[in-house]
Structure 1
Amino acid sequence: MPVGVPVEQFTASSAAHVRLVLLHDREGKVLAVLPAAGLLDLNSLCQLAGRELQPVKAEDALRFFGQPALRTEAGQNQLLSLPMLVDTHCPASAWHCLEPHSGWHFTLERRPEHDRVQVGAFALPAQAPQQSVGISDTAMISRAVERFTGLRVQQRLDDLLGLPGLSESMHNIVRLRSNPDAGVDDLVPVVKRDPSLSAQVMGWASSPYYAAPGKVRSIEDAVIRVLGFDLVINLALGVAMGKVLQLPEDIPRGSIYHWDQAIYTATLCEKLAIKAQLEERPRPGLAYLAGLLHNFGYLVLGYLFPPYFSRLSRYIEANPHLEQQQVEQEVLHVTREQIGGWLLENWKLPDEVAMAVRYQQVPDEAGEYSAYAKLLYLASRLLRAEGLSDGPRVPVPENLLQQLELDPEQVRQAVEEVKAQAESLAQISRLFDSRT
């Protein structure tokens, strides 16, 4: 939600705050009204209306609610003459109406009453980001798989899921990434043995973003002089992950390209890790990798639950004020963070990365790796505010910069650097898509 009402207004305690959602089907537009903080349950709403409604695209909602005529009483009366679905939890008295995409809001003295208003229950209370409650992620993933695929989990979960494995060279890369004593001399032979990886490394080193002086003439030159050990390993792992799973087809409309978000987040996490003044400073290379893979569980959701992924996308579109994992918990009963953290742990990636991905929404639960999770949390929120990452605009907790010992001005400069480099970074991100 890069524009619109700040998300804190949608968690207001006032019962008078209601949210407007514009939906449509072949018959035309419908206006849904529900408590501002609630989750719109599309199944219940469609049953109430007897229609197959879906939310309009974010850009269409922005254009519709941005019309100057809606700032007039006549325009508001025309809007409220649309067929309306009103949740039973909305008050009968005055409403303070909010529309998240455009930021438009106005006060209505009383609830509209005309023959095209239907009242029914289609809003659910939005749950806070899930925290550890005594049940393992493996068990929760197993239950979700059983529920949505009809498969009984009678063997190792990773065998059942049928996820494609990593190549031999990628297993070697993972082992090097996990070995704190590994260096360039260990990495170069692994790269040379994989022709595809060799070509990619040469391509990265020659890209305008890294602006290497002179011509890059060899793998050694690319790794030692231009890219460095950490970056080659991290980019190689990102490419490997991109080849394991394709991007889902029916993603939320208007969302930012998955790998663009990944590399923006990785770059900002690395910059923030370098600037953090903690006694045990996060390793920039691992912070970069955590950022690169922070949303990988989303790809796995698309792989595991393709029949339900379109439904999930529509729910995310209908509830732009909520964290996406809150919607996933409601629709699929498992979140991208749970699946992503579990998978990275099973693939033997460093604990710092797996734990940061798993607990990026609740960083304090990451224990000794909480600094990495906090960097992810911070980078994601900062990028959302700039329209470079998906999700609601939420304020950064005041004490988070203090906990990471980050100077606010340095943080602002890091964000500005990523914004300035966004186009060049996006060129690199295309290497991660298995379809390219």
Structure 2
Amino acid sequence: MEMAQSLERYLRSMDVAFSIHPHEMETSLSKLCSEMGIGPEQTAVPIVLRTQKQAFLMAVVPLDHSLDLDRLSGLLRREFLYLDEAEVSAWFLDSEPGAEPPIAEPYELPCIVDRSLFEQPRVFMRAGSHRALISMDNANLQRLYQAYPKAVISNPSVLPLSDEPLNRTDPTSIIAIYNALDNLDRLPSIPVLAMQLLEQASSEQTTAAELASTIEMDPSVTAQVMRYAGSPYFGYRGNLDSVQDAITRVLGFELVSNIALAIASSKAFNVPQEGPLGMRAFWKHALYTAVLAQSLAKKINRPQTLNPPRAYLCGLLHNIGVLLSGHLFPQEFRLLNHEMERYPQRSLSDIEQNLVITGDVQRFIRLGHDHLGGYLLEKWRLPQAVSTCAYYHHDAEYVGEHAEYVMLIQLCNRLLAQRKIGDLGRTELHAVQTGGLISDADAFSVLEKVMAMCPELDNLADNMAA
């Protein structure tokens, strides 16, 4: 099949002249255009959207552009969400998945077209098959889209064009994405309180009173530290009247510093509370990972290479890239949330690599929440073990510096996946590999003790998310 039948019938009924360009089977449109000598600016692609009230829309943009959802929403005075792959395929029953044509009428969809396409003498597009493109000259393109509104609804991409999975071992691609991240005006700076806490934690001269005084500058962080210290998890039965009491009587300097640092850091992000990737789910995953990592580190008992308080902070912040993704790309984050809800058996990393979006945001999302988080924590100058765990907590082959912390966080994630906590999905519920850090029996024994504290940990996570 070179063309979807409904599309061919429609084009002929509209008297739109077009040419067919057969080719070998190829699912990557960017690669195909490169091989055929077709400019991405003269290649039209469809993006199917919906509103909360289930009104649908096809937006047609050039291959080398990113859809501007904010601008589109402003133009049409409604908020749009991306459709996932299954929802898109349901509209194009006679097309191969991923080869949907940017022509709305045969599929009874309303449509809006980016104006820049009409500057091209000839425009190419998919026609329902991965074995042929079609093209038409400007006059026929005008005839094809004459009934649809035209507007500037996209922006030129700044990253190298590719719709293939990102090669995360290619330093050229990664550096280009990091450079583009640096140029985003929404990239959050480290909160002032977090910076002050980092400075105090790095100084051996800082006293418990000075640390308490800094934390007490922020009432919400103070309240969270006090709730944490009063949790049944720590078993302290006396009265706690101040943060300094929490430090000296219950938690200790390093743990209080780490808890406050994580809570203060999370204030840099504006993300939804609910959903499998929302703030509540983030803190539940973070807190369980932190407590489990600290408990395992104590059991392993190698404080020179696995310091329990440092392991705790690695656990709290290893997934901070999820918050950064939600903060930078709220519309795409909604789609990620939707996909995680719809396909709980899939891992977040797998969904990120296959998300049906276009343009620069696709490249940022495919970089992965792990690399996004590691890059941000490195920019914020958090301890290297913490940023390394964020970078590599999905890389089972990592053998570099702080590898034991990385292995520990990976072990925590695999153990918690057994209890449906985290983002590994249900497909990874295989035998837990401890990496030689600890015996299987000891690992599961520690897990059982942590899970026995579920009510207390869930309550703490809810408070931290509030």
Q: TM-score, normalised by structure 1?
A: 0.62
Opposite residue 134 of structure 1, the aligned amino acid is P
The 5-angstrom pairing of residues 397-408 of structure 1 reads 400-404=433-437, 406-408=438-440
Structure 1 counterpart of 2:353, from 325, 329, 342 = 329
Rounded to whole Å, the distance in 2 between the matches of 1:48 and 1:278 is: 53
The 5-angstrom pairing of residues 110-149 of structure 1 reads 131-135=168-172, 137-143=174-180
Structure 2 counterpart of 1:166, from 148, 167, 191 = 191
Deviation at 1:360, TM superposition (A): 0.4
Deviation at 1:223, TM superposition (A): 0.7
Report whether the alignment pairs 1:338 with 2:375: no
Cα 1:402–1:218 change in 2 (3 A) is: same
1:282–1:372 CA contact under 8 A, matched in 2: yes
More moved, 361-370 vs 243-252: 243-252
In the other structure, the counterpart of 2:449 is 417
1:272–1:414 CA contact under 8 A, matched in 2: yes
Rounded to whole Å, the distance in 1 between the matches of 2:324 and 2:246 is: 32
1:355–1:373 CA contact under 8 A, matched in 2: yes
Rounded to whole Å, the distance in 2 between the matches of 1:402 and 1:211 is: 32
Rounded to whole Å, the distance in 1 between the matches of 2:331 and 2:277 is: 17
- Cα displacement string for residues 279-307 of structure 1 (whole angstroms, at most 9, x for unaligned residues): 84311111111111122111111111112
1:170–1:237 CA contact under 8 A, matched in 2: yes
2:373–2:391 CA contact under 8 A, matched in 1: yes
2:392–2:406 CA contact under 8 A, matched in 1: yes
Report whether the alignment pairs 1:305 with 2:329: yes
1:238–1:432 CA contact under 8 A, matched in 2: no
Structure 1 counterpart of 2:464, from 411, 432, 435 = 432
Deviation at 1:187, TM superposition (A): 2.3
Rounded to whole Å, the distance in 2 between the matches of 1:120 and 1:45 is: 17
Rounded to whole Å, the distance in 2 between the matches of 1:170 and 1:311 is: 30
SS of the residue aligned with 1:387?
Answer: coil
Cα 1:368–1:136 change in 2 (3 A) is: farther
Report whether the alignment pairs 1:248 with 2:272: yes
1:137–1:339 CA contact under 8 A, matched in 2: no
Cα 1:371–1:131 change in 2 (3 A) is: farther
Opposite residue 186 of structure 2, the aligned amino acid is L
2:233–2:456 CA contact under 8 A, matched in 1: yes
In the other structure, the counterpart of 2:121 is none
The 5-angstrom pairing of residues 210-221 of structure 1 reads 210-221=234-245
CA RMSD of aligned residues (A): 3.7
In the other structure, the counterpart of 2:305 is 281
Cα 1:342–1:138 change in 2 (3 A) is: farther
More moved, 383-392 vs 316-325: 316-325
In the other structure, the counterpart of 2:383 is 350
Deviation at 1:235, TM superposition (A): 1.3
More moved, 288-297 vs 169-178: 169-178
Opposite residue 185 of structure 2, the aligned amino acid is L
Unpaired stretches in structure 2, ≥5 consecutive residues:
1-52, 56-81, 99-127, 131-162, 356-361
Rounded to whole Å, the distance in 1 between the matches of 2:54 and 2:217 is: 56
Opposite residue 458 of structure 2, the aligned amino acid is A
Deviation at 1:205, TM superposition (A): 2.4
In the other structure, the counterpart of 1:96 is none
Opposite residue 417 of structure 1, the aligned amino acid is K
1:323–1:391 CA contact under 8 A, matched in 2: yes
Structure 2 counterpart of 1:269, from 271, 293, 298 = 293
Cα 1:284–1:87 change in 2 (3 A) is: same
The 5-angstrom pairing of residues 9-408 of structure 1 reads 45-50=86-91, 131-135=168-172, 137-143=174-180, 156-157=182-183, 160-163=185-188, 165-167=190-192, 169-179=193-203, 184=208, 186-248=210-272, 251-252=275-276, 257-276=281-300, 280-331=304-355, 332-333=362-363, 334-365=367-398, 367-393=400-426, 394-395=428-429, 400-404=433-437, 406-408=438-440
Opposite residue 163 of structure 1, the aligned amino acid is P
Rounded to whole Å, the distance in 1 between the matches of 2:399 and 2:300 is: 18
SS of the residue aligned with 1:372?
Answer: helix
- Cα displacement string for residues 229-288 of structure 1 (whole angstroms, at most 9, x for unaligned residues): 122112112211232213336745999722111101111111111122558431111111
